[in-house]
Structure 1
Amino acid sequence: MGIGKVLTGILAGVAVGTTIGILYAPDKGTATRKKISQKSNKYVEDLSQKFNDFVDSINKKIETVSDEVSRMAHNGKAKVEEVEKELTSTANSFKTR
């Protein structure tokens, strides 16, 4: 089971438990609805923050991979140029013989 599914299950359980607890609290209907609305907003904010953190971590990983690919491409290009010079030098030495 993935961590995302576990996290979603935990958040859903907490939300349901909180809603049931509020519904059984001895308050007026308007106060109960207000509490539910406030709790819902808090959960949305928390989930939004977690999502933003997740996106930020993915962006950092993508940036790291992109930097590594660029570095490898640069090194590969330098190696190809080095081999090309060696081959040219070898070919020129055969021509002069």
Structure 2
Amino acid sequence: MSNNTGNTIVAILAGVAIGAGIGILFAPDKGSKTREKLKDGFDDAKHNLQDKYHDVSEKLIGKAKALIAKDDIDGNYENIVSTLSHKTEDVISFLENKLADLKLKNAKFQK
């Protein structure tokens, strides 16, 4: 969990606790109504935390997928470069052989 997310969760929980304490001290309603309001407040805070957790989870999953895709692309790139390097060596060897043959043929004409 990142530091910002941790700070946000602590701030939300502190706000809920302070709000509940002030609500109890200044509650004009009966105890049962005050408890119901507290329960509703805690439920709202719980849903807010779940929503934030879901958002953070989705962002992390998206970043992880992007990193995995990047690794796949990097791996494919390395394979392509390696294959091309081998093919280039093959072409160079072929051209060197042809050049040697041409030099031999040219030497015959110069005698």
**Mapping for residues 3-14 of structure 1, pairs under 5 Å:** 3-14=4-15
Runs of 4+ in 1 over 6 A off after TM superposition: none
Q: TM-score, normalised by structure 1?
A: 0.85
Higher relative contact order (CA 8 A, sep 6+): 2
| Percentage of matched positions with identical amino acids | 14
Output one character per residue of 1:25-56: Cα deviation in whole Å (capped at 9) or x when no partner. 12111001101110010000000000000000
**2:20–2:38: 8 Å Cα contact kept in structure 1?**
yes
Of structures 1 and 2, the larger Rg is shown by 2
Q: TM-score, normalised by structure 2?
A: 0.76
- Residues matched between the structures, number: 96
For residue 50 of structure 1, what is the aligned residue in structure 2? 52
Cα deviation for residue 93 of structure 1 reads 5.3
Partner residue in 2 for 1:21: 22
Contact map agreement 2:24 2:34 (CA 8 A) in 1? yes
Q: Where does the alignment leave 5 or more consecutive residues of structure 2 unmatched?
A: 101-111
